[in-house]
Amino acid sequence: MKVTIIGTGYVGLVSGVCLAAKGHQVTCVDIRQDIVSCLNAGNPHIYEAGLSELLTQVIESGDFEATTDLTTALDRVDTIIVAVGTPSDGGVIDLSYVRTAVRKIGEYLKNNDRYISIIIKSTVIAGTTDTVVREEIETASGKYHPAFGLGMNPEFLREGEAIDDFMNPDRIVLGYEDPETLERLEALYAPWHVDKVRVNTRTAELIKYANNSLLATQISAANEIANFAAALGNIDIMDVINGVSLDRRWNPILRDGTRLNPAILNYLIPGCGFGGSCFPKDIQALHSQGQELGLTMDITKAVLNVNDVQPLQVANIINSHIKELSNYKILILGLAFKPGTDDVRESASLKIIDSLLKQGATIFAHDPIAATNFSNAMGTEARKITITSEWRHHINDTDIIVIVTKWPEYIDLENINLSGKIIFDTRRMLSIEKVTGAQYFAIGLRQS
């Protein structure tokens, strides 16, 4: 099947490369010639594990190419996927990129009689495809649905694991407004033998938001309970979480007596909050849309409030033992919002470093791949910190070490002499008994 994808960000590029790997002929469209040139040379402009290798493979097979020529790309196909960004603007998603993309498709359709299905993959609030998208195309083309097809195919890709998530999904949601578009979605995903959910487009849109909102709610609930445990004292929240997670409703017992240990349990582990391009933006968007509909949206508001201040727990706990940080050197390990990606959007490190700088601390920071993006995100404030490529070299020079991102290499701290240091493990990455000679802090654990 021939398909054109508009957008080459995390979603568009990963989707395009993976669809090509399944034998479809994919053309990705971007307005930037430098990005297109890099992609056609086999060099992705974003970092994602396995992406570079898979991109090279599909280019060599002839199933993938990138272009800036939208018209030619549309001439080749009957199915178009829109995967442009929908950034947050004051808690409300900005649909300007989506509007621009579908308007150009509408202009193309004005002088073309072929039946083309436009499938939205960008994350948009419920009711966008069958209203905003449809109206933009109708206005630009002078044609009215169902003279063209409309679909919505939400993504469930975790940055750092996006290739595996796309190639081995747990379900695929096929949102459609007309039978022909459903048929094309079925053909597109025919190589995948998993549960497929067939619904109208606004249901498909809400599935994405509901999925992320419930996961985020679980994270914030666990963090609030962890903060309570630390305030009360003489409790390690991980002992509490272990007891909770043995409830068979969380962790079913198989017939042989073993536990299933589902991945959902990972969202019970407390930390310094969720970040990235999806959870914060999606919860804010759902909250804002609910308020526009006259709902109070109390739970989503609470989830956002807990998450907003959670990174500050690091400074608060350190301050409970050290009142004056101006003479302390602190090493921050991890700048990406999660391991496996160079994405720093809504990273806890941004707030943690900002808080510590305001107290006069000297900051060293490390991340294996996200350092440049982090510096760009901090702007002029980046000049106040020292970003290092060799974090081990700074162990002896620092007083406090804070693990913010769970990069595997940081487990090496268990094999380093940390005598006299303070270790703050926000991700519960280290075994407490292996951190010898250091004072160990964590979310949900109060030192006496």
pTM of the model: 0.93
Position 448 pLDDT exceeds 70: no
Structural domains of the chain in order of their starting residue, each with its CATH number: 2-199 (3.40.50.720), 237-441 (3.40.50.720)
Position 84 pLDDT exceeds 70: yes
Structure confidence at residue 447 as a pLDDT band (50, 70, 90): low
Question: Taking a C-beta distance cutoff of 8 angstroms, is the pair 366, 375 a contact?
Answer: no
Q: What was the pLDDT predicted at 419?
A: 92
* pLDDT tens-place string over residues 19-37: 999 999 999 999 999 999 9
Question: Taking a C-beta distance cutoff of 8 angstroms, is the pair 212, 283 a contact?
Answer: yes
Residue among 18, 28, 272, 278 flagged as catalytic: 278
Please, what is the angle between helix 10-21 and helix 51-61, to 10°?
A: 50
Percent share of the chain, pLDDT over 70: 100
* pLDDT tens-place string over residues 128-142: 999 999 999 999 999
* pLDDT tens-place string over residues 144-163: 999 999 999 999 999 889 99
Position 215 pLDDT exceeds 90: yes
Structure confidence at residue 277 as a pLDDT band (50, 70, 90): confident
Q: What was the pLDDT predicted at 115?
A: 95
User: Quick count: other Cβ atoms within 10 Å of Cβ 18?
Assistant: 23
Position 446 pLDDT exceeds 80: no
Coil, helix or strand at residue 370:
coil
Lowest mean pLDDT among 169-178, 203-212, 269-278, 324-333: 269-278
HSE (CB half, 13 Å, CA atoms) of 86? 25
Residue 278 a catalytic site member: yes
Structure confidence at residue 184 as a pLDDT band (50, 70, 90): very high
More confident residue, 275 or 56: 56
Structure confidence at residue 415 as a pLDDT band (50, 70, 90): very high
Question: 37-46 contacts: CB < 8 A, separation 24 or more?
Answer: 39/8, 39/13, 39/66, 40/65, 40/66, 44/13, 45/8, 46/9, 46/10, 46/13, 46/342
Average pLDDT taken over every residue of the chain: 95
Structure confidence at residue 276 as a pLDDT band (50, 70, 90): confident
Question: Taking a C-beta distance cutoff of 8 angstroms, is the pair 115, 151 a contact?
Answer: no
Position 54 pLDDT exceeds 90: yes
* pLDDT tens-place string over residues 363-377: 999 999 999 999 999
- State which amino acid sits at residue 8: T
Question: Cα(71)–Cα(270) distance, rounded to whole angstroms?
Answer: 49
Structure confidence at residue 42 as a pLDDT band (50, 70, 90): very high
| Mean pLDDT calculated for residue range 428-440 | 90
HSE (CB half, 13 Å, CA atoms) of 366? 19
Q: What was the pLDDT predicted at 278?
A: 87
Burial code of 282-317, b = ≥16 C-beta within 10 A, e = fewer?
Answer: bbbbbbbbbeeeeeebebbeebbebbeebbbbbbeb
Decide the pairing of beta strands 422-425 and 117-120.
Answer: unpaired
